[in-house]
Amino acid sequence: MKPAPFKLCMPEEEQEILALLQSYGRDARILAGGQSLVPLMNMRIMQPQVLISLNRCTSLSYINAQGNGIAVGARTRQAEIEESEQIASRLSLLSKAMPYVGVRSSRNFGTVCGSLAHADPLAELPSVAAALDARFQLASVRGTREVSADEFYIGALTNCLEPDEMLRQVLFPALPPNSKSVFVEVSTRTHGFAVVGLAMCASIDSSAICRDVRLAAMGVSETTLRLRSAEAMLEGNTLSAELIDEVSRAATETMNPPHDIHADGNYRKRVACTLIKRALSEVVQR
Amino acid sequence: MNAIDDWTLVGESILRREDAYLLRGQGKFVDDLPVPQNTVHLGFVCSPFAHANITGIDISRAVALPGVIDVLTGNDFVGDILPFKPDIKIEGYREISRPVVATDTVRFVGEYVAVVLAETPYIAQDAIELVDVEYDPLPAVARIEDALDREAPVIFESLGDNVIFKSHFETEGFADHFASVEHVLEGEFHLGRVTGVPIEPRGCLGVIDPVADSYTLWTTTQVPHVVRTAIADHLRLPESIIRVVTPAVGGGFGVKSHIYPDELIVVALMRRYRRAVKWIQDRREELLSDAHAREHIHRIKVAVDAEAVIQAVELKLQTNGGAYANYPFSCTLEATGAARMLPGPYRIRNYKYDVVSVVTNTAPTGAYRGTGQPSCFLAIESMMDRIGRELNIDPADVRLRNLVQPEEFPYVNAVGVRYDTGSYKESLEKALEISGYREYKNRQPKDRLIDGKYRGIGICNYTEVSGTGAPGWRVRGFAKMPGFDSSRVVIEPDGRVAVYLSQADAGQGHYTTFAQVAADRLGVAWSDVTVIEGDTSKTPFGTGTFASRGSVVGGGSIIRCCEKVSAKVKRIVGEMLEIDPSDLVLSDGRVYPLGTPDKGLTLKQVAETAYSMNDIAMPEGEEHGLEATDYYDPPMVTMANGTHVVQAAVDPGDGTVEIERYFIVHDCGRVINPMIVRGQIHGATAQGIGEALMEEIVYDEDGQLLNANLLDYVLPLVLDIPDMEIAHIETPSIDTVGGIKGTAEGGLTGAVPAVANAVCDALSGLGINISRVPLRPSFILAQIDKAAG
């Protein structure tokens, strides 16, 4: 638990952060809450030469209404999201997923953007962001650009950030007022890294017709997986038991999930099917 | 023989004195100790290969790093430190030895290959990566079946094959008894490999005293005296110049009852460099190289008559011993433990076992809470359920028909172990009652499906070996485990009491419970007793704290020691008051004639005489001082017992198991502190639930350990642990001093089979027999799918 030598920079201004990123490039890593990066450094799996800490840059800490959505800054702690009434009322999916993210003590320091950028295939937030059609704002001294989750995630622990870029904020478009959200996951123990998980939001009208259905699964591929064919099957249709069965089967049929010591691919596939059923059944019942 | 019926403080739930500092984070663990200036910090280069020849080690890049003092390889220790050879004296055992740092060949991932000495632990870690070791990889074996394969690579040429231990036992006329019975049921049970994972990994700090030319080793051990003897033996030093101290230790669970290479290396290096030496283990190193446990395969045949009474049992047990013999237990601790304890609380008169332990290219195995017992009780308790299903008799009744009955005590089991007292029938009946077992069974649908989940109930009866004395260690071949523990009890000049004990606390609450025992026996306030242990320079020699022995042997020794001291007090006071000493009592810090408390003296007044601090002379022929020493070697074992009943639900959609209710009846004889006993039960049961449902060290077939971190070695968290409803029975031992039995392991032993049986009952509608742990969701769902075709 002794990291390799590194230089620590603790800038207070965003411009300074971007300037440091530009000058150090690939040798630098952004340090936000450090809940994933620091253990990896302790095990020397990662050995960045420079750490650029966001922790003194308070201007990156915010939960702001922006246009038709809510923007969350790079330094905003997960616990702040968990406690935010604004998030609970307008982005209930994010709110519901928070208790599954790490443990309470890690959420006190861990950040939303840090977890998103880390791109762990078994992290909850990338799937939540995918299901919410989040916009990832990437900043560098060259300017800013915005990408979707599909564009941001390239593979396990890999994103599309250029060496001089940081994930400056993530913008979650607000859910329609009648939208319902479900977050479900299964793990070997009650609380810990999941084996499979599912984030879902959908609007269901009084005659059980679905609109704006979005489903994103974790643990079934290298990155979060939007289940677009399932979404299309559900869109505009009545959510019957038969449809739920059909959709959950069709959505998982072609999956080819990874195998590891916790579960084989077949198990992940089976459980993904179960979770889709659970999530859809839950929104019908509500 | 040793019945005591005038207990005062024993039996009270006194709050733990340790909690005042431990709960505030003020405990001083080895890494918290102040280090002398100029301390050398160690780092170990570990083998990344499971089996390889070392063809070259280039240290030049490492020693060139500023702050690196030296880098040593295996050859630098040859001659300085003798290899480990744990002198196991049991038929069928073949000795192998282990150098503290590998010289020519590495045999498991994590084995020490070189030692870095540096000015800081960070530099040591940097230098580890700069040591260039050239390996010539050899074919490796990791699993039992692969090690036994004819074509398997042989790990120790001296053995000729990979078998390190073979043992056979059978009762007289076994074959005839077995053949004469109508039903024979067979089962095969696999237990995954696990380890204790104490919250504090291991570590050492060696400090040299140049004036006395002596060496103090602060180390995280459960057995300080055994460590000291091992250092003296392996470094050929006089024991008198070595002092072993345990600071606060964050859990042991048996893992810290072995002596590890680093403990010897730290002492050798402080001698060589004349500087303090420190090493603190990482979690990864702990999971890679500290003692692992289990990885057993039981193949069992039970011959049973039409009334479900067991007539004969045959066991074939295979265990994976790992790459080397851990010191001092080797791999035979679990192998002999599991085979010898399988009869448990049952009247199994005809018994035969064959044990085979193999060496493989995996970490050496050894002691971990429960040692052999979770394993053998998984086998026999699962068979109880199968007998019930086969003969259509409730599994609880199958057990009741086979238990050793109350009138049979003291009972000697088929392998010759004496059960002095026990409450087997009462315990099971009470467990059935508090758990509502019969009602549950009556309500239970045949398919076990209630509200979309398969729900079942499981039982485990267990016996728990505790307080093992010298005969118990000798019969299992352990030459380096003394068996006794000892204490020195001193009434100080101020009348207060100091208890020096040969054991070492690792969080069990010794400073509370042993003060309670001494205060009870000497009639003083509990707060006036100080307990001192974990320091070989202060306490008399003894065995240490593991294998559920602390309260039995430590407690027994303190009771005997207090008797000796109070006899002296009574002699002195008898002379002073001209009263027969046997008419005197010690109570409330005073000594007085029975019935007339105002006539006596305070202990302080007696101490003034004993320490010559007044004008009253000691009685003729009586030495000064007010203390005694006692060495207590308990019987072979004393047997605690208990019953777990578990209600579990299995989700057919994802294979997860939820423990819905948990019931425990336990009997550890005389209870010193009920609150602390409950803590032992809670903790051990939690570890048992972990072993039953999720924990497993995973090696691939090439011997790579795939989960040497706590993200992937899945331990239960508090949310996985249900409330436990616990009932006590108190059946004092008739063989141990004070009637005390041990209690540290029964929770784990009971939990593994009870949880497995509950899951098995839940899935019985599908015709599934559970034959392995851990029962991970992916495994269970695969079983359900397989059963569904």
What is the pLDDT, as a whole number, of residue B182? 86
Residues B558-591 pLDDT 10s: 999 999 999 999 999 999 999 999 999 999 999 9
Average pLDDT, stretch A61-80? 97
How many Cα atoms are found within 13 Å in the side-chain-facing hemisphere of B203? 24
Token pair 């089967």 in the structure block, residue: A249
Nearest chain A residue (CA) to B783: A267
Q: Which chain B residues have a beta carbon less than 8 Å from that of A102?
A: none
Chain A closest CA to B445's CA: distance in Å? 24
Chain A closest CA to B178's CA: distance in Å? 41
Cα–Cα distances (Å) from A190 to A98, A193, B663, in that order, read 15, 9, 21
Q: How many helices (H) and strands (E) does chain A have?
A: 12, 14
For residue B781, give the nearest of A188, A262, A270 by CB distance. Answer: A270
For residue A189, give the nearest of B129, B714, B785 by CB distance. Answer: B714
Residues A156-194 pLDDT 10s: 999 999 999 999 999 999 998 889 999 999 999 987 789
What is the pLDDT, as a whole number, of residue A190? 85
Dist. CA B20–CA A137, nearest whole Å: 50
Partner-chain contact B698 A261, CB within 8 Å? yes
Specify the pTM: 0.97
What SS3 string covers chain A?
A: CCCCCCEEECCCCHHHHHHHHHHHHHHEEEECCCCCHHHHHHCCCCCCCEEEECCCCHHHCCEEEECCEEEEECCCEHHHHHHCHHHHHHCHHHHHHHHHCCCHHHHCCCEHHHHHHHCCCCCHHHHHHHHCCCEEEEEECCEEEEEEHHHHEEECCEECCCCCCEEEEEEEECCCCCEEEEEEEEECCCCCCEEEEEEEEEEECCCCEEEEEEEEEECCCCCCEECHHHHHHHCCCECCHHHHHHHHHHHHHCCCCCCCCCCCHHHHHHHHHHHHHHHHHHHHHC
- CB contact B85 to A (< 8 Å): no
What is the pLDDT, as a whole number, of residue B2? 54
Q: Which chain A residues have a beta carbon less than 8 Å from that of B65?
A: none
Single out the residue of B427, B341, B421 nearest to residue B635, CA to CA: B421
Structure tokens at B363: 């970490």
Chain B closest CA to A239's CA: distance in Å? 20
Question: Is the CB of residue B687 less than 8 Å from the CB of residue B669?
Answer: no
CATH architecture of A7-53: 2-Layer Sandwich (3.30)
CATH value of A179-285 in 1.20.1260.10, 3.30.479.30, 3.30.390.50, 3.90.850.10: 3.30.390.50
Chain B closest CA to A265's CA: distance in Å? 10
Average pLDDT, stretch B49-72? 98
- CB contact A45 to B (< 8 Å): no
| pLDDT, averaged across chain B | 97
Cis peptide bond prior to B410, omega within 30° of 0: yes
CB atoms within 10 A of CB A268: 27
Chain A closest CA to B527's CA: distance in Å? 37
Cα–Cα distances (Å) from B116 to B42, B127, B188, in that order, read 6, 7, 46
For residue A261, give the nearest of B707, B719, B777 by CB distance. Answer: B707
Residues B220-259 pLDDT 10s: 999 999 999 999 999 999 999 999 999 999 999 999 999 9
Single out the residue of B595, B559, B563 nearest to residue B579, CA to CA: B595
Dist. CA A13–CA A16, nearest whole Å: 5
The class that CATH gives domain B292-470+635-788 is alpha beta
B residues 627-666 near A, CB within 8 Å? 653-656
ipTM field? 0.95
Chain A closest CA to B778's CA: distance in Å? 5
B residues 276-295 near A, CB within 8 Å? 282-284
Question: Is the CB of residue A211 less than 8 Å from the CB of residue A179?
Answer: no
For residue B122, give the nearest of A2, A263, A278 by CB distance. Answer: A2
Residues A224-256 pLDDT 10s: 999 999 999 999 999 999 999 999 999 999 999
Chain A closest CA to B185's CA: distance in Å? 32
Q: Do domains B33-138+199-251+255-289 and B292-470+635-788 have the same CATH topology?
A: no
What is the pLDDT, as a whole number, of residue B788? 85
Partner-chain contact A267 B709, CB within 8 Å? no
- CB contact A43 to B (< 8 Å): yes
| pLDDT, averaged across chain A | 96
For residue A188, give the nearest of B121, B124, B776 by CB distance. Answer: B776
**Superfamily for B33-138+199-251+255-289?**
Aldehyde oxidase/xanthine dehydrogenase, a/b hammerhead (3.90.1170.50)
Q: Which chain B residues have a beta carbon less than 8 Å from that of A193?
A: 711
Residue B3 has pLDDT above 80, yes or no: no
Question: Is the CB of residue B135 less than 8 Å from the CB of residue B53?
Answer: yes
Residues B159-201 pLDDT 10s: 999 999 999 999 999 999 999 998 999 999 999 999 999 999 9
What is the pLDDT, as a whole number, of residue B1? 43
Q: Which chain A residues have a beta carbon less than 8 Å from that of B693?
A: 188-189
Return the domain boundaries, chain A.
7-53, 58-173, 179-285
Q: Which chain A residues have a beta carbon less than 8 Å from that of B200?
A: none
Nearest chain B residue (CA) to A43: B284
Cis peptide bond prior to B406, omega within 30° of 0: no
Q: Which chain B residues have a beta carbon less than 8 Å from that of A264?
A: 778
Dist. CA B672–CA B391, nearest whole Å: 43
Q: Do domains A7-53 and A179-285 have the same CATH topology?
A: no
Partner-chain contact A186 B121, CB within 8 Å? no
What DSSP line would sit under B419-467, residue for residue? E----HHHHHHHHHHHTTHHHHHHH--TT-EETTEEEEEEEEEEEEEES
Nearest chain A residue (CA) to B281: A1
CATH number assigned to the domain covering A58-173: 3.30.465.10
- CB contact B778 to A (< 8 Å): yes
Q: Which chain A residues have a beta carbon less than 8 Å from that of B776?
A: 188, 262-263
- CB contact B97 to A (< 8 Å): no
Bridge partner list, B411: B419
- CB contact B720 to A (< 8 Å): yes
Q: Which chain A residues have a beta carbon less than 8 Å from that of B717?
A: 189-192
Return the domain boundaries, chain B.
19-26+484-632, 33-138+199-251+255-289, 292-470+635-788
For residue B284, give the nearest of A5, A43, A267 by CB distance. Answer: A43
Average pLDDT, stretch B62-81? 97
Residues B102-154 pLDDT 10s: 999 999 999 999 999 999 999 999 999 999 999 999 999 999 999 999 999 99
Minimum mean pLDDT among A181-185, B113-117, B475-479, B668-672: which range?
B475-479
Partner-chain contact B694 A190, CB within 8 Å? no
Q: How many CB pairs under 8 A join A and B?
A: 75
Q: Which chain B residues have a beta carbon less than 8 Å from that of A189?
A: 693-694, 714-717, 719-720
Q: Which chain A residues have a beta carbon less than 8 Å from that of B778?
A: 195, 262-264, 267
What is the pLDDT, as a whole number, of residue A208? 87
Residues B614-630 pLDDT 10s: 999 999 999 999 999 99
Single out the residue of B493, B777, B478 nearest to residue B627, CA to CA: B493
Chain A closest CA to B150's CA: distance in Å? 28
Structure letter (DSSP) for residue B125: H
Structure letter (DSSP) for residue B718: G
Structure tokens at B539: 């306490």
For residue A191, give the nearest of B655, B709, B719 by CB distance. Answer: B719
Question: Is the CB of residue A115 less than 8 Å from the CB of residue A71?
Answer: no
The class that CATH gives domain B19-26+484-632 is alpha beta
- CB contact B712 to A (< 8 Å): yes
End-to-end alpha carbon distance in chain B: 61
Residues B729-777 pLDDT 10s: 999 999 999 999 999 999 999 999 999 999 999 999 999 988 899 999 9
Q: Which chain A residues have a beta carbon less than 8 Å from that of B719?
A: 189-191
Dist. CA B482–CA B88, nearest whole Å: 13
Average pLDDT, stretch A133-149? 98
Structure tokens at B685: 């049961």
Instruction: Order across the sheet with A28-31: list the strands.
Output: A7-9, A50-53, A28-31
Residues A13-56 pLDDT 10s: 999 999 999 999 999 999 999 999 999 999 999 999 999 999 99
Dist. CA B781–CA B495, nearest whole Å: 66
Q: Residue A95 — pLDDT band, cuts 50, 70, 90?
A: very high
